[in-house]
Amino acid sequence: MTRRKLLAFTAVAPLAAMASPAPAVKPGIDIFSLRSQNWTPFQNLDYCAAHGAKVVHFSEVRFIGSLDPANLRQVRQYAEKLGIEVEIGMKSICPTSKMFDPKEGTAEDQLTRMIAAAKTVGSRIVRAVLGSSDDRLPGPIERHIASTVQVLRNVRSQATDANIKIAIENHAGDMQARELKTLIEGAGRDFVGVCLDSGNPLWTIEDPHLTLDTLYPYVLTSHVRDSAVWPVPEGAAVAWVRMGEGDVDIDGYVRKYAELCPGRALSMECIVTGPRIFPFRNSKFWDAYRNDPAWEFERFLEIVARGKPRPAEPRAASPEAARQKEREDLEASIEYTRKLL
């Protein structure tokens, strides 16, 4: 190649790179989106395949039926026939959390069983949680983070021997992004990462874009849904909504996720709720957030200020109507997200 041609090539190459499409993510569905349908795992897989999912995220054991190896092998074979990747999950692995269920054994025992189940069913990860917003009071949340880190360290060899990673979700108001980052680094990022949820940051008075910016290097998988937030006299109201109906720039979030987390699952977890009030104008509220930096809270306030009040969701006339609406909400959200990507 002559020097002139080389100069021309190097001048054009950056433009070509800028014009190329963003790396693809794997479209998925979290079965919690279908929690009221009472379907078998095979019915769930059929539904998800019909709606274009490449990943099906069984976020709780109840959705996959059981951890019996025969059941797990059947699910794996069925999913492989449909061209679907399976992910599995569980609830709390934090023995000091109010959500933890000691009747199922120690946290280490429960997580070890899930690691074995993940290997059998073909899941690369086990999704788990610390707890919920209830664990911030009396707190401190750092106590529960330390407890979870110890559990994870205790099962490190089981996870690494099985080549399974543990994906800790920012769940139901338990941890802010920097807190979850501390947990991951403390446990060991060689086998622990993040199940990034776009709806839960607002339950910790955090901007979802800040959550993504902080945690994307640790992301193993994800849940995505939209949120509406608006000011009320007590502080802020937050409701989870269909994709495209919220106030958090979910379009920008999804596109940024696709750029920062190529090859990872973007799994729809559709939950449509009425408003939940976060009374941050009451001084007692801050007992749960004594270490929250002012600049992070300011980003949350900017989203609140842009928001518009949203009427409460009407109650479904019957259980069947509720199940139908659950499917409609999910399908509308899938279609909206497909257009974004």
pLDDT given at position 312: 83
Quick check: is 188 in a domain? yes
The total number of structural domains in the chain stands at 1
The domain that contains 173 carries what CATH number? 3.20.20.150
Residue (of 1, 8, 80, 2) closest to 45 by Cα position: 80
pLDDT given at position 20: 45
Q: What is the pLDDT along the chain (341 residues), one digit of tens a residue?
A: 333 333 333 333 333 333 445 448 999 999 999 999 999 999 999 999 999 999 999 999 999 999 999 999 999 999 999 999 999 999 999 999 999 999 999 999 999 999 999 999 999 999 999 999 999 999 899 999 999 999 999 999 999 999 999 999 999 999 999 999 999 999 999 999 999 999 999 999 999 999 999 999 999 999 999 999 999 999 999 999 999 999 999 999 999 999 999 999 999 999 999 999 999 999 999 999 999 999 999 999 999 999 999 888 888 899 999 999 999 999 999 999 999 98
pLDDT given at position 13: 35
How many angstroms separate the CA atoms of 327 and 270, rounded?
9
Quick check: is 6 in a domain? no
Quick check: is 107 in a domain? yes
Quick check: is 5 in a domain? no
Quick check: is 13 in a domain? no
**Domain span at residue 52?**
24-228+241-274+319-340
pLDDT given at position 325: 97
Q: Which residue has the tokens 């039926």?
A: 65
Quick check: is 307 in a domain? no
Quick check: is 288 in a domain? no
Quick check: is 65 in a domain? yes
